A and B are shown apart, each in its own frame.
Chain A
Amino acid sequence: MSVILETVGLEKSFDAVVAAHNINIRIHAGEVVGVIGSNGAGKTTFVNMVTGYLTPTAGQILFHREDIAGMPTREITKMGICRSFQIPQLFPELTVLDNVLIALTIARRGKRGWLRPAIDAGLTQDAMDLLARFHIEEHAHKLTTTLAQGVRKLVDIAMATVAQPRLLFLDEPTSGVSAEEKMSFMATLIDALKATDTSVLFIEHDMELIEAFAPRCIAFYEGTILADAPTSQVLENDKVREFVIGAEFHRSADDDAQNDMQKGA
C-alpha cells in the first residue's frame, strides 16, 4: 500500500503549552485508522494541523510527498484532505438539502460562470443521491437546527465527502449518538465511505467501535503518540490501558451522567 500522508516531527505549542510533540504518523491509501486518547491529548490538534486550521510550530506534513504544513485550509481541501467536526459545522438556517447543495456548488464551482444559476436539477439529484448514501434523504427538507444530533453528524460527514477526499478525518463521529445506535451508525458510515475508496482516520472514545472498525489504532497521550500498531495490540498495551482506556472508563461514566441530565431536561 502506498503512503499518502506522512508527518515528520510535527510540533505545536501555544505559548508554554505543548499540544503536540514529535508526531510521526504514516497513513496508507485505503486504510481505516482509529485514534484514541483522552480529552486534551492532542488528537484534534493533530487534525487541525493537517487540515490547515493550525500552523505547526515545527515539522513536516507530507501529502503525496508534498509538504502542506501551513497551507490554507481551502487549498488542502482541494488537494484531497477533508474532515468532519466534533460539533457539526453546518449552515444552521438552511435545510439539509441546501447545506449539501452549497457544498456541491463549492466543490464544482470551477465549471460554472458567475452568472449561471448554481443550482439545477442535476445538482439537486446528486445532492439527494449523496443524502441517500448516508440514509438521511428523508430529512432533506428539514432545517438542520431541528435535527437529532446523529443526523446532524451525518450531514456534517456527508458535506466533508463532496470534495471527493483521498483522506478523511472524522472527529468523534459518534459523539452525541446514543450508545445503542453507535454500532449501526458507524456501520452506515464506514459503508458509505467504503464506496469512495477513501482513507479514513477517526477519533473515537468507544473502544468497541475501534475494535470493530479500525484494523489499526493510534493512541495519543499528552501531545505525544503512546502507541501506533494493529488495534488488538494497542488495546492490550499496558501504558494505553493505564493512561487512555482507564481515563476513558471514567469519562464514559461522566458522559452517561450528562446524557441522563440532557434527557431529563
Chain B
Amino acid sequence: MFTTVAIILDGFGFAAWLFLSSVGLTLIYGVMRILNISHGGFYALGAYSAAWAIGLYTQTGNTIALTYLIIPVAAIVVGILTGLLVERGLLRFMYGHEEVLMVLVTYAVFLILEDVTKLIWGTESYVAYQPAFWLGTVDVAGIPYTIYKFLIIGIAVAVGAGLYWGLNHTRVGKLLLVVIHDREVSAALGINVTLFFTVTFVIGTTLGALGGALTAPEISVVPGIGAEVIVMAFAVIVIGGMGSIGGAMIGAVIVGFARAMSVHLYPPVEMFSIYLVMAVVLAVRPYGLFALAEGRKI
C-alpha cells in the first residue's frame, strides 16, 4: 500500500517533469521536422539562469514568494533570446535539408550551448532550493510529499491544456495545424510559414528552458544535465509518436511510471527501465504508439 501510493505520487511527479521537459521538443518536431538535440542545451540554460537568479535574489533577504515569478521570467528571457538567435541566425538557412542532417546541426548547437553555459556560470553546482522548500510538504497516506511537486504537476497539466486549446481553438493554432499537415499547401494558401517556424521554435525553446527552470529548485544544477535530459525527452516523444502533444503526455506518464516503479521496487534499474521502454516501443511501433501509417510512394 505504502509503496503503491509512493509509486503513484512519484509517477505523476516524474511524468509532469518529463512532459514539461519534452513537450517543446515534440512541438518543434511536429511543425518543423527537426529533431532538436539542442533542446537539452535550452533546458540547461533555463535551469542555470533560474538557479542563478534565485540565488542572487534570496541573498537580498526579501520574500521567497517572488522567486515563483523569477522562474518563468528566467525561462522566457532565455527561451526568446537564444531561441531567436539559433533559429534566425542558423537554422533558417538549413531548412529543406534531410532530417538526419538537421539532427547533426542541432547536435553542434547542443555542443556550443554546453560551453556557453560553462562560460557564463562556470562548472560548480548551483542550488536554489528555496522555492521548493518554502512551500513545505503535505501528508499523502502517510507519505510526505513536497507541495512544489504538486505545483509542477499543475503547471504540466496547464501547459498541456493550454497548448491543446491554442492549437485547436484559436485561429493561429488552426493555421499551425495546416502548416503541420502540409507545408507547401500552406505556403500556397498565403500562410507565412517562415514566421510560424520562428514562433514555434521560440515557443519550443522557451518550454525547454521552463522545464529546466522549474526543475532547478529540486536538483543541484551541474554540467551535464542537458545531455541527460535530452535522451529522456527522446524516449518520451518517441513513445507517443513524435510531433504529437497528446502523445508526449502519454509518453511522459508511461516513462514516469516506469521510473517510479523501478525506483521503489528495484532502484538499480531506474535509468535502464526508461531506455528499455523507449527501445521496445521503437522496436514495435517505430513511429510511436499513436502514429498513422504512411501512404504509397510509387
Interface residues of A (CB under 8 A from B): 44, 48, 53, 85-87, 89
Residues on the A chain within 8 Å of B298, using CB:
44, 48, 53, 85-87, 89
Closest to A47 in B: B298
Q: Which B residues are CB-close (under 8 A) to A86?
A: 298
CA distance A48 to B298 in the complex (A): 9
State how many residues of chain B have any CB contact under 8 Å with chain A.
1
Output the least CB separation between B128 and chain A (Å).
51
In whole angstroms, what is the CA distance A44 to B298 when docked? 8
* CB proximity of B23 to chain A, nearest CB, Å: 32
Bound: A89/B297 CA distance, A: 11
CB contacts (< 8 Å) of A53 on chain B: these are 298
Within 8 A of A (CB), among B114-139: none
A-B contact pairs, 7 of them (CB 8 A): A44-B298, A48-B298, A53-B298, A85-B298, A86-B298, A87-B298, A89-B298
Q: What chain B residues lie within 8 Å of A89 (beta carbons)? A: 298
Please, how many angstroms separate the alpha-carbon atoms of A56 and B33 in the complex?
33
Minimum CB–CB distance for A159 against chain B, Å: 15
Complex-state Cα separation, A85 to B297, whole angstroms: 11
Residues from chain B with Cβ under 8 Å of A48 in the complex: 298
Q: Give residues of chain B (248-298) contacting chain A, Cβ–Cβ below 8 Å.
A: 298
* 7 tightest A-B CB contacts, nearest first: A85-B298, A53-B298, A48-B298, A87-B298, A44-B298, A89-B298, A86-B298
Tell me, rounded to whole Å, the shortest Cβ–Cβ distance linking B141 to chain A: 49
Q: Which residue of B has the minimal Cβ distance to A86? A: B298
A199 to B298, CA, bound (A): 22
CA separation between A86 and B297, bound complex, in Å?
Answer: 11
In the complex, chain B residues whose CB is within 8 Å of the CB of A85? 298
Question: Cα distance A86–B296 when bound, in Å?
Answer: 14
A44: chain B residues within 8 A (beta carbon): 298
Q: For the complex, what is the distance from the CA of A48 to the CA of B297, rounded to whole Å?
A: 11
Cα distance, A89 to B298, chains bound together (Å): 9
Task: Tell me the complex Cα distance, A222–B60, Å.
Answer: 79
Chain B residue, CB-CB nearest to A54: B296
User: B186-214 toward A: CB 8 Å interface, digit per residue (1/0)?
Assistant: 00000000000000000000000000000
**Complexed CA–CA distance, A85 and B296 (Å):** 14
A135 to B132 CA separation, bound complex (whole angstroms): 77
- Smallest CB gap from A85: residue in B: B298
Min Cβ gap B109→A in Å is 26
| Least distance between A25 CB and chain B CB atoms (Å) | 20
Q: Nearest chain-A residue to B298 (Cβ)?
A: A85
A231→B298 CA distance, assembly (Å): 27
Chain A min CB distance to B163 (Å): 31
Query: Which residues of chain B are near A87, meaning CB under 8 Å?
Result: 298
User: Roughly how many angstroms separate A85 CA and B298 CA in the complex, as a whole number?
Assistant: 8
Q: Which residue of B lies closest to A87 (CB)?
A: B298
B292 smallest CB distance to A (angstroms):
12
- Distance between Cα atoms of A238 and B231 in the complex (Å): 65
B127 to chain A, nearest CB (A): 52
Q: How far is the CB of A46 from chain B (nearest CB, A)?
A: 13
Q: State the CA gap A203–B298 with chains docked (Å).
A: 14
CB distance from B97 to the nearest CB of A (A): 14
Shortest CB distance A113–B (Å): 31
Residue of B nearest to A83 (CB): B298
Q: What residue in chain B is nearest A53 (Cβ atoms)?
A: B298
Using CB atoms, name the residue of chain B closest to A171: B298
Complex CA–CA separation, A86 to B298 (angstroms): 8
